[in-house]
């Protein structure tokens, strides 16, 4: 997540408690053991991925420019700025019952709800850090991820929409307009859905052309999904061919994203930087 300005230092918000979200093993993301495999796969959204991100920031080439900040859990009332109360109640009840599969591939296990609260609260802390004038660029390094979580629906390994909560905090704190730029390889459908009917948020998503993947993800991510009502024209989808590399992303940014953002003139920019658009991610 970032403000519209830049700075030499990056404030990274992180809490190791997010490692306690266990997504299990099985065949890819199914959680299923067919009984005849010697080695079951880790769920693709597992703690090893974020451990590597932490190590890159701690030991990699930009480590001198990192200022580490401590995350914190969100309060339930903070979640209601984006999510419906009945949906939050469903998640709380699932946690009390010891967890369950909320939707395909998305498992709320013991420890998952606490991790989700940490992810949401840590992202809110990063946004508040910027809003309070303590920095220019903040990165919320969090899991479970959030951009598929819709106001009333979990989806795609996501329970709470961390970016959506941060956007709403910016709006509630006086920002008139906010832009979201999502470069995850999948459509940021949850964030788009949350702001689909407002002209105060420009949601931009660059993603592979995967379409809908079922009841939890009815949105297609097509160029025709432009928003509704006052939000018509404020949802920009940029589906890219599978295998699109740096040049393709650069071209889309230069020719489509930058002109749209400049025309919108936001007070804040929130970047959703899903790492599965990297050539080094097994997804």
Positions annotated as catalytic residues are: 148
Cβ–Cβ < 8 Å for 7, 135:
yes
DSSP 239: E
State the residue for tokens 């699932």: 94
Structure tokens at 57: 């920031």
Residue 23 half-sphere exposure toward CB, CA atoms < 13 A = 28
SS3 10: strand
Phi-psi group of 111: left, alpha or beta (phi > 0 → left; psi -120 to 50 → alpha; rest → beta): left
What H or E segment, with its residue span, contains residue 103?
A: strand 100-103
**CB distance 155 to 149 below 8 Å:** yes
C-beta separation of 157 from 146 below 8 A: no
């Amino acid at each position: 997540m970032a403000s519209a300005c830049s700075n030499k230092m990056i404030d990274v918000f992180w809490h190791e408690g997010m490692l306690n979200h266990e997504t299990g093993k099985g065949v890819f993301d199914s959680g299923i053991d067919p009984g005849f495999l010697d080695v079951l796969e880790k769920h693709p959204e597992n703690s090893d991925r974020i451990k590597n991100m932490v190590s890159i920031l701690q030991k990699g080439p930009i480590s001198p420019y990192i200022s580490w900040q401590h995350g914190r859990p969100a309060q339930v009332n903070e979640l209601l700025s984006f999510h419906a109360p009945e949906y939050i109640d469903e998640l709380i009840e699932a946690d009390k019952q010891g967890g369950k599969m909320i939707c395909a591939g998305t498992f709320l296990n013991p420890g998952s709800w606490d991790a989700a609260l940490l992810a949401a609260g840590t992202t809110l802390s990063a946004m508040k850090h910027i809003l309070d004038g303590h920095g220019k660029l903040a990165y919320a390094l969090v899991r479970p991820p959030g951009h598929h979580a819709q106001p009333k629906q979990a989806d795609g390994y996501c329970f709470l929409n961390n970016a959506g909560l941060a956007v709403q905090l910016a709006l509630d704190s006086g920002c008139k307009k906010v832009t979201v730029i999502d470069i995850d390889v999948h459509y940021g459908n949850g964030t788009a859905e949350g702001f689909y009917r407002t002209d105060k948020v420009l949601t931009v998503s660059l993603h592979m052309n995967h379409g809908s993947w079922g009841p939890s993800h009815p949105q297609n991510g097509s160029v025709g999904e432009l928003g509704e009502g006052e939000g018509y024209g404020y949802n920009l989808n940029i589906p890219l061919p599978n295998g699109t590399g740096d040049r393709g992303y650069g071209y889309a940014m230069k020719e489509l994203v930058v002109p749209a953002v400049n025309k919108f003139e936001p007070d804040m920019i929130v970047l959703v930087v899903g790492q599965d658009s990297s050539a080094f991610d097994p997804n």
